[in-house]
Structure 1
């Protein structure tokens, strides 16, 4: 596994544990998530995204590479076509994620 900043490592660990509260805790107040053509910017929107995109499909993220805020990882779960590679473009401040944009890699 690549050497990851604490916030990103915590995001992956809590995602793989399917712990919605722990995932949400990795985000700073005012953080944004851009995925599937939508940007989620409130706590309620991010919580709903976590439930529908990470928890319900039981996603497991396996990091491949990391450089300059960009994590390329395999994502597998209860969805068709998996595993799939995704690029996660993170911005962090301290130990919290301030934004992440996710796209196919």
Structure 2
């Protein structure tokens, strides 16, 4: 999938995840952002930074986009976890080129 067709914030999220760059990932999120993943909601900078480290950086996640429509990215996620790669849907709310809400569900 051509990442030039993605909103800037989504492209930055993928690039920072794949580079395992926690600071660049944290910079993708706006003030007061939330992430909903694995049945838990992470709110605010400290919780999101912890989520980034535990769910993306430590397991060395690599995201390979397969489709994007509206606000929904479907991608394969692989890394140091059992059963991978797995397909996920990432639904982004974006304001001023920053992610304000991200919901992640298996597909």
TM-score class, shorter-chain normalisation, is over 0.9
Q: Superposition RMSD on alpha carbons, in Å?
A: 0.6
Match of 2:30 in 1: 28
Q: Distance in 2 between matches of 1:28 and 1:71?
A: 19
Structure 2 unaligned residues grouped into runs of 5+ = none
* Structure 1 residues without counterparts, runs of 5 or longer: none
SS at match of 1:82: coil
1:83-104 deviation digits (Å, cap 9, x = unpaired): 0000001010121001000000
Alignment match of 1:93 (pick from 72, 92, 95)? 95
Aligned residues between the structures: 105
* Stretches of 4+ aligned residues off by more than 2 angstroms: none
- Bigger helix fraction: 2
TM-score, L = length of structure 1: 0.98
